[in-house]
A = this chain, B = another copy of it.
Amino acid sequence: MFQNLVHAKVFQDYIEQSEFPTAPANLYDPIRYILSLSGKRIRPLLVTLGAALFDEAVLEASLPASTAIEFFHNFSLIHDDIMDKAPLRRGKETVHQKWNESVAILSGDALLVKAYEELAKCPSDKIVPLLRLFNQTALEVCEGQQYDMDFELRADVSQDEYIDMIRLKTSVLLGCALQMGAIIGGADIAAQQQLYAFGVNLGIAFQLQDDLLDVYGDPETFGKQVGGDILSNKKTILFIQLRERLQDSDKQLFEHLLGSDVEQEPDKVEKMKALYAKHDIRDFAEALKEKFTAVAYEQLRAIGVDEAKKTTLFALADALMNRKQ
């Protein structure tokens, strides 16, 4: 949706110039492959938009940091897909499926190192703070993935734990991308932190919206099977909140639905949605999403630069959150 922004186009040109050796093919072919599946490339765009907020002239200088973020994101996809045993990514075979697990482990490792190679190309007076922020974020993303896997084996995940997991697993990277841009753009610490908080809160809101869309999305536009999370008993915000609210008879029905696949219980999705409706789960989740969205917007508004410069970031946030401001 933002592929036509000049910032996105300049990044596209830059990353397409990335050259990887031809040998060993089993190390570098998977990297070319995952990068060719290019998603929306929101994260690198956040770096350049974060930089442009403070200094339009640093667009070029922000491209290695954008690339580092995009490489890191793709590294995490390769490794997460192994751990999640996912056969498909963006509609194509995952790396471990197309090659094998060893190839996916090692090419993921190499892509993480390539991210640091890009960091080493950033403006040299900014490398230390960029490296520190990137390292902290990378560790947090690993922690988030570990919590996500741990939670699959636990019945009693609380809402706070869930929010913290999605913050670590997906949101801090958005905050990091924006703050890296701000660092390169010469922002002061306070503005860096506000932009980081904008990204993190927007990321949490976006993940909550993802949970909502999986159940209430328009089948025409959603792209995935509506109700997929219910069918796979995924611990979404809806699941967690419902479990906390249930008592007695509804609890039995809930447990019955969790223990049934679609053959045993063809109306599993509809029956779970009925429970959500009875316990006002959708409204609750919408309100929680709005809360995080509002905090995000508040942070962006508070940054002390011309409001006109924030237009693209607000528009991007609106588009991500399906909002009309």
- Digit string of A93-133 for contact with B (CB within 8 Å is 1, else 0)? 00000000111011011101110110110001001100110
Interface size of A by CB at 8 A reads: 38
User: For the complex formed by this chain, how many copies does it contain in all?
Assistant: 2
Please tell me which one of the listed residues B26, B101, B112, B146 contacts residue A27 in the complex, with CB atoms under 8 A apart. Answer: B146
Tell me the residues in window 1-39 of chain A with beta carbons closer than 8 Å to chain B beta carbons: 21, 24, 26-27
- Digit string of A231-271 for contact with B (CB within 8 Å is 1, else 0)? 00000000000000000000000000000000000000000
The residue on B at minimum CB distance from A142 is B110
B135 near A131 with CB under 8 A, answer no
A150 within 8 A of B: yes
Chain B contacts for A109, CB-based, 8 A: 79, 108-109, 112, 142
A138 within 8 A of B: yes
A143 within 8 A of B: yes
A139 within 8 A of B: yes
Chain B contacts for A101, CB-based, 8 A: 82-83, 101
B83 near A102 with CB under 8 A, answer yes
Complex-state Cα separation, A143 to B23, whole angstroms: 8
A142 near B113 with CB under 8 A, answer yes
A145 within 8 A of B: yes
A189 within 8 A of B: no
Complex-state Cα separation, A30 to B147, whole angstroms: 15
A315 within 8 A of B: no
Given known A-B contacts A79-B106, A147-B24, A138 and B119 have beta carbons under 8 A apart: no
B120 near A132 with CB under 8 A, answer yes
Chain B contacts for A117, CB-based, 8 A: 132, 135, 139
Given known A-B contacts A83-B102, A105-B79, A105-B105, A120 and B128 have beta carbons under 8 A apart: yes
Sort A-B residue pairs by CB-CB distance and give the 7 closest, nearest first: A83-B102, A24-B146, A27-B146, A110-B142, A113-B138, A120-B131, A117-B135
